[in-house]
Amino acid sequence: MTATDLTTSTATAAHIETTERYAAHNYHPLPVVLAEGDGAWVIDVDGRRFLDCLAGYSALNFGHSNERLVAVAREQLGRLTLTSRAFYNDQLGDFAEALCRLTGKDMILPMNSGAEAVETAIKVSRKWGYEVKGVPAGQASIVTMEGNFHGRTTTIVSFSDDEVATSGYAPFTSGFRRAAYGDIDAVAAAIDDTTVAVLFEPIQGEGGVVMPPEGFLRDLRALCTERNVLMVADEIQSGLARSGKTFACDHEDVVPDIYIMGKALGGGIYPVSAIAADHAIMDVITPGSHGSTFGGNPLAAAIGTEVVAMLEEGTFQARAVEIGALIEAGFRPLVGQGLLGVRVRGAWAGIDIDPALMTGRQMSERLMDRGILAKDTHGSTVRFAPPLVASDDDIAGLVTAVTEILAAG
* Residues forming the active site: 149, 234, 263
Residue 47: other Cβ atoms inside 10 A: 10
Distance separating alpha carbons of residues 50 and 35, to the nearest angstrom: 11
Cα angle 145, 178, 236 (rounded to 5 degrees) comes to 30
Going by their DSSP bridges, the two strands 34-38 and 339-344 should be labelled as unpaired
CB 382 within 8 A of CB 360: yes
Distance separating alpha carbons of residues 143 and 195, to the nearest angstrom: 7
Angle between helices 392-408 and 360-369 (to 10 degrees): 120
Contacts of 368 (CB under 8 A, 6+ apart): 4, 6, 30, 32, 50
CB 112 within 8 A of CB 272: yes
